[in-house]
Amino acid sequence: MRTCDPLSIQPCLQRFDRVQSSVLETIIGAALPSQAIQQASLPVSKGGLGLRKASSHCFAAYLSSIVQTTRIVDGILQNFPHRLSIQEALDDFLATAGPIPHSTEEDLNSLDPIHFTQSKLSHVIDTNTQANLLSQAAQASDKRSIARLQSLTLAHSSDYLNSIPSHTSGLSMLPQSFRFALLYRLGLPIYPIPDPHCPACGNGMDQYGDHTITCATENERICRHDALREIIFETANHAGLFPKKEARSLIPDSQKRPGDIYIPVWRYREHAFDVAVTSPLCASNLPQSSTATGSALEKMKVVKNNKHFHQCRRQGIVFIPLVVETLGGWDSEAVFHLKSIAEKTAHRSNQRPAFVVKHFFQRLSVILQRANASLIATRAPPPPPPHVTGHE
């Protein structure tokens, strides 16, 4: 891609892309529509799977290579009529990349090598692909897809995809759980029967898992909540913060438990942290989630604060909701405190803070997706009876 004219190798690159998509279809057990293929081609930070299309990004690779090496090649060959056309490679890139921001277009016209790194050029392609997906969803009035794609841009929503599967490190997922997580991420149908009934609560159930992710029957959501709480409590304990789980004595003359994790001294004050999981795709959140990224987080924070904030403040306790969306994105305030707790843990060990923080959020991400997958699996309709052919 960096050394060959992109147009001459397009058939090979397109075949590579088809093979890559075919492998993904095998992993998730479902055919991929064009929108899902586009999403999968995005970096995980933009809500994709990092499976970039070679047939598109080859123009960025080739243009970057030419610009970065022009001075070296000129120095070696001098006046030999060898020079490749930078303008021609630039025109091919612009024709493929899509709309170019004005500031970026000025950088490209300058032909300064500093602006022609492959990562910067690929970023333009990825940004336009993401915008195209949102535009298609808007034209189709598909609020769910808009909310889903926007949710996937929140902090740490993709950490489970960036983790190395390891049972001893708490980063492992069963193949079926990983498959459910990918289907949910890509917005593909999870259940084969249109509008099945939930076997747990008996209510109608959509094909995409939105009902199962939020169904409160049989305390399964509590298990998801408790799994996240345990990881945070364990990390705070390792940090030497002397945390307590669900302390009942924080509010006088009350048995209320305003926080899942109480830390007696955190940033010079008492803190009560309350873990909450919310879905941006449920019916009550979807109208706002499709217009404002993170609105489901803010809504849940308001609910939690209305319930506990003032009671805690009267006792000199800082109440902090730690809210995460079902697709994995954390609220910014939660990220600040969780990162600080993890860094405190690193200071008591020989590990680098950046490594500890990264591993901490990856564990939280894997735990969340495993719990989501468990909810989806327990509500899957029974498979049809096997077809048995009689023999004479």
Predicted confidence (pLDDT) per residue in 219-235, tens digit: 777 889 999 999 999 99
Residues 107 and 227 in one domain: no
Give residue 14's pLDDT band: very low, low, confident or very high (50, 70, 90).
very high
SS3 (DSSP) at 294: coil
Mean predicted lDDT score pLDDT of the chain? 88
- What per-residue confidence (pLDDT) applies to 2? 92
Q: Using the predicted structure, report yes or no on whether residue 286 has a pLDDT greater than 80.
A: yes
What residues contact residue 310 under an 8 Å CB cut-off, 6+ apart?
none
* 179 domain-assigned: no
Q: Using the predicted structure, report yes or no on whether residue 78 has a pLDDT greater than 90.
A: no
Q: Name the percent of the chain lying above pLDDT 70.
A: 91
More confident residue, 346 or 79: 346
Token code pair at residue 212? 């199962």
* 155 domain-assigned: no
Give residue 82's pLDDT band: very low, low, confident or very high (50, 70, 90).
low
Residues 125 and 21 in one domain: yes
SS3 (DSSP) at 171: coil
More confident residue, 72 or 160: 160
Of 121, 141, 161, which marks where a domain is finished?
141
- What per-residue confidence (pLDDT) applies to 381? 61
Residues 219 and 354 in one domain: yes
Residues 317 and 234 in one domain: yes
* 184 domain-assigned: no
Q: Using the predicted structure, report yes or no on whether residue 26 has a pLDDT greater than 50.
A: yes
- What per-residue confidence (pLDDT) applies to 390? 43
Of 109, 141, 173, which marks where a domain is finished?
141
Give residue 84's pLDDT band: very low, low, confident or very high (50, 70, 90).
low
Q: Using the predicted structure, report yes or no on whether residue 239 has a pLDDT greater than 50.
A: yes
Q: Using the predicted structure, report yes or no on whether residue 218 has a pLDDT greater than 60.
A: no
Q: Using the predicted structure, report yes or no on whether residue 108 has a pLDDT greater than 80.
A: no
* 150 domain-assigned: no
* 306 domain-assigned: yes
pLDDT tens-digit profile of 295-330?
A: 999 999 999 999 999 999 999 999 999 999 999 999
- Measured CA to CA, the distance from residue 177 to residue 279 in angstroms comes to 18
Q: Which of 171, 172, 169, 189 is nearest to 180 (CA)?
A: 189
Residues 233 and 370 in one domain: yes
* Total domains, the chain: 2
* 158 domain-assigned: no
More confident residue, 193 or 14: 14
* 181 domain-assigned: no
Residues 216 and 340 in one domain: yes
State mean pLDDT over 270-295.
95
Residues 352 and 268 in one domain: yes
Judged by average pLDDT, the poorest of 134-143, 278-287, 375-384 is 375-384
Domain containing 234 equals: 210-378
What does 281-317 look like in DSSP terms, one character per residue?
Answer: TSTTTHHHHTTSTTHHHHHHHHHHHHHHHHHHHHTTE
Residues 25 and 124 in one domain: yes
* 170 domain-assigned: no
Residues 325 and 214 in one domain: yes
Of 101, 125, 141, which marks where a domain is finished?
141
Residues 226 and 357 in one domain: yes
